[in-house]
Structure 1
Amino acid sequence: MLDTLPLSRKQLRSIAQATARICIWHGAVRSGKTIASLLAWLLAVADAPPSGLIIVVGRSLQTIERNVFEPLSDPALFGPVARQIRHTRGATTATVLGRTVHLIGAADARAEGRLRGLTASLAYVDELTLLPEAFFVQLLARLSVPGARVLATTNPDSPRHWAKVGYLDRAHELNLKAWHFRLDDNPSLSPDYVAALAAEYVGLWHKRMILGAWVVAEGAVYDMWDEQRHIVDELPDMRRYWLGIDYGTTNATSAVLLGLGTDDRLYAAAEWRWDSRTMHRQLTDAQYSTRIRAWLDEQAIEPEWTFVDPSAASFTAQLWADGHPGIARANNDVLDGIRSTATALDSGLLRVHRSCTGLLDELPSYAWDPAASEKGEDRPIKRDDHSVDALRYAVHSIAHEWRPLLTTPTADSPRG
Structure 2
Amino acid sequence: MSDVDEVEKSDVLGPQQMRSLRESKVRVNIFEGAIRSGKTIVSLLRFLMAVLFAKGGVIVVIARTRDSAYRNVFEPLMTPGLFGPLARLVHYTAGAPTGRILGRTVHVLGASDAKSEKVLRGLTVALAYVDEVTVIPEEFFTQLLGRMSPPGAKLFGTTNPDSPAHWLKVKFLDRITTGGLVGWRSWHFQLDDNPALTEEYKNQIKSEFTGLWFKRFVQGLWVAAEGAVFDMWDPEKHTIPWDDLPQMRELISVSLDYGTTNPTAALLLGVSAEVDMYGRAAPRLFFVDEYRHDSKLAQQKLTDSELARDLILWLNGIHLPASTSITLLPRFTIIDPSAASFKVELRKTHGITSTDADNDVLYGIRTLASLVASGKLLVAAPTNANPDRGCPGFISEAPGYVWDPKHTLKGEDKPLKIADHSLDAARYGITTTENIWRRFIKLAA
Q: Which of the five TM-score ranges fits, normalised by the shorter chain? A: 0.7 to 0.9
8 Å CA contact retained: 1:265, 1:350:
no
Structure 1 segment 61-72 matched on structure 2, within 5 A: 61-72=66-77
Kindly state the Cα deviation for residue 225 of structure 1 after the two structures are TM-superposed: 4.8
The 1:113/1:258 distance shift into structure 2, 3 A limit, reads closer
Cα contact 1:107–1:131 (8 A) shared by 2? yes
CA distance in 2, matches of 1:254, 1:383: 14
Q: What does the per-residue CA deviation read over 1:149-201, in whole Å, with 9 as the maximum and x for residues that have no partner?
A: 22211111111111111111110211221101112211123455545555654
Gaps of 5+ in 1: 407-416
Query: Which residue is equivalent to 2:303?
Result: 284
Q: 1:94: how far off?
A: 3.8
Shift of 1:17: 0.6
Q: Structure 2 CA distance, aligned partners of 1:265 and 1:143?
A: 42
Measured in 2, the distance between the counterparts of 1:297 and 1:47 equals 58
Quick one: distance in 2 between partners of 1:98 and 1:300?
A: 50
Distance in 2, Cα, partners of 1:192 & 1:317: 52
1: CA distance, partners of 2:118 / 2:355: 34
What percentage of aligned pairs have identical amino acids? 46
* 8 Å contact kept, 1:231–1:353: no
CA distance change for structure 1 residues 325 and 345 in 2, over 3 Å: closer, same or farther? farther
The structure 2 residue matched to 1:366, chosen from 392, 401, 407, is 401
Alpha-carbon separation, structure 2, partners of 1:288 and 1:353 = 23
Is the contact made by 2:163 and 2:224 (CA closer than 8 Å) also made in structure 1?
yes
Query: CA 1:113 to 1:240, structure 2 compared with 1: closer, same or farther past 3 Å?
Result: same
Deviations, residues 189-216 of structure 1 (Å, cap 9, x unaligned): 3455545555654543333222222222
User: Which structure has the bigger radius of gyration?
Assistant: 1
Q: How many residues align?
A: 399
Matched, 1:57 2:57: no
Cα RMSD of the aligned pairs, angstroms, is: 4.5
Determine which of 14, 19, 31 is the counterpart of 1:13. Answer: 19
Counterpart position of 2:144: 139
| 1:260-339 equivalence runs, <5 A | 273-277=292-296, 281-291=300-310, 308-311=334-337, 312=339, 315=342, 334-335=361-362, 337-339=364-366
Q: Indicate the residue corresponding to 1:115 in structure 2.
A: 120
Unaligned segments of structure 2, at least 5 residues: 1-9, 273-282
Q: Which residue of the other structure, out of 174, 185, 207, is the alignment partner of 2:181?
A: 174
| Most deviating of 198-207 and 158-167 | 198-207
Residue in structure 2 matching 1:205, options 201, 210, 213: 213
- Matched residue, 2:261: 250
Matches of residues 187-198 of structure 1 in structure 2 within 5 Å? 187-191=195-199, 193-194=201-202, 197-198=205-206
Distance in 1 (CA, whole Å) between partners of 2:268 and 2:143 is 47
Residue by residue over 1:100-129, the C-alpha shift from the partner in whole angstroms, topping out at 9 and shown as x without a partner, is 433333222223233334333332222111
- TM-score, normalised with respect to structure 2: 0.71
Query: Residues of 1 paired with 2:357 and 2:307: CA distance?
Result: 18
CA contact (8 A) 1:330 1:393 kept: yes
Q: 1:103 aligns with which of 108, 113, 116?
A: 108
Whether the 8 Å contact between 2:256 and 2:336 is mirrored in structure 1 is no
Distance verdict in 2 for CA 1:251–1:177, change over 3 Å: same
The one-letter code of the counterpart of 1:85 is V
Aligned match of 2:32 in 26, 39, 52?
26
Deviation at 1:360, TM superposition (A): 6.2
- Distance of aligned partners of 1:130 and 1:295 in 2 relative to their CA distance in 1, 3 Å threshold: closer
- Opposite residue 220 of structure 2, the aligned amino acid is G
Cα distance in 2 between the residues matched to 1:144 and 1:374: 37
Query: CA–CA distance in 2 between the matches of 1:84 and 1:144?
Result: 27
Amino acid at match of 2:304: D
Per the alignment, residue 414 of structure 1 pairs with none
